Amino acid sequence: MMLTFTVVVPAAGIGSRMGAACPKQYLPLAGKFLIEHTLDRLLSHPRIAQVVVAIAPDDDFFATLPLASHPRVSVIHGGTVRAESVLNGLSLVKTEWVLVHDAARPCITHHDIDLLIHEGLAGDGGLLGSRVRDTMKRSDTSGHVVRTVDRSDLWHALTPQFFRCLELQQALQDALGRGAMITDEASAMELAGWRPRMVEGRADNIKVTRPEDLALAALFLNQQEKET
């Protein structure tokens, strides 16, 4: 019997760095809304049984999308920070393992999802990442370079991130309770003493964050279509 999973999609952000008139997940991208690309990629994966989308309490747009009535899509209200949105989403998860994937990452591929599941199941779970390619610098508060940082084991943390649901719930609750700075699920799991696996994924699995990212995401989506 093939193990299937739920994906929690945090989609309750406002996209402040995008500076658009609407939250970035609802910006047009390659013929549909950004979030529709992300959800289509997830729902078309054979091992994804359910997608739980965490939307902002005042989001009345998601309900207008055809995907809102998809039988394998559930909706819940997100929180004021991403970790709260994820935690709310986890309350609807019925599978032992859960993936968490940003709504703002539409270029995720099935191959990378398969890689993450395979590696994550062998241990405490894991996350997709891409190795840093540039020379890395640390600056001081005045914006002057302080020193060059050894990049040999530095990664960009991506999503999906993949963990046992109960362990992730506990780790997020503990981290939020301690007021810890949690920007991804792995940081909560690390704080709880787990050792998430870093799984090298595609660097085109970008998070659409700033205006210039939209054209890049369109290019990557188009390129990926040609690869299939």
Ligand X SMILES: Nc1ccn([C@@H]2O[C@H](COP(=O)(O)OP(=O)(O)OP(=O)(O)O)[C@@H](O)[C@H]2O)c(=O)n1
Q: Which two tokens stand for residue 13?
A: 């952000």
Residues in the chain, overall count: 228
Distance CA 100, CA 163 (A): 9
Segment lying near ligand X (by CB under 6 A), choices 59-67, 77-85, 133-141, 142-150: 77-85
Query: Is residue 101 involved in binding ligand X (CB under 6 A)?
Result: no
Distance CA 25, CA 7 (A): 17
Least distance between ligand LQXTBERG and beta carbon 156 (Å): 7
Least distance between ligand X and beta carbon 226 (Å): 26
Least distance between ligand X and beta carbon 55 (Å): 8
Nearest CA to 13 out of 25, 29, 3, 1 is that of 25
User: Among ligand X, ligand LQXTBERG, none, what does residue 159 contact (CB within 5–8 Å per kind)?
Assistant: ligand LQXTBERG
Task: Please give the helix or strand (H or E) that residue 225 lies within, else none.
Answer: helix 211-227
- Closer CB to ligand LQXTBERG, 132 or 157, in the complex: 157
Q: Which two tokens stand for residue 87?
A: 């935690």
Residue 62 contacts residue 17 (beta carbons within 8 Å): no
Least distance between ligand X and beta carbon 11 (Å): 5
Residue 132 contacts residue 203 (beta carbons within 8 Å): no
- Closer CB to ligand LQXTBERG, 68 or 200, in the complex: 200
* SS3 assignment, position 221: helix
Distance CA 137, CA 144 (A): 10
User: Among ligand X, ligand LQXTBERG, none, what does residue 112 contact (CB within 5–8 Å per kind)?
Assistant: none
Near ligand X in 44-73, by CB under 6 A:
54
Least distance between ligand LQXTBERG and beta carbon 87 (Å): 14
Residue 105 contacts residue 224 (beta carbons within 8 Å): no
Nearest CA to 12 out of 150, 112, 104 is that of 104
Query: Is residue 185 involved in binding ligand X (CB under 6 A)?
Result: no
Residues near ligand LQXTBERG, by CB under 6 A: 82, 102, 157, 159, 183-184, 207
Binds ligand X by CB under 6 A, chosen from 13, 106, 126, 196? 13
Half-sphere exposure of 96 (CA within 13 A, CB side): 7
Binds ligand X by CB under 6 A, chosen from 207, 214, 217, 218? 207
Least distance between ligand X and beta carbon 123 (Å): 25
Chain positions contacting ligand X, by CB under 6 A:
10-17, 25, 54, 78-82, 85, 102-104, 207, 209
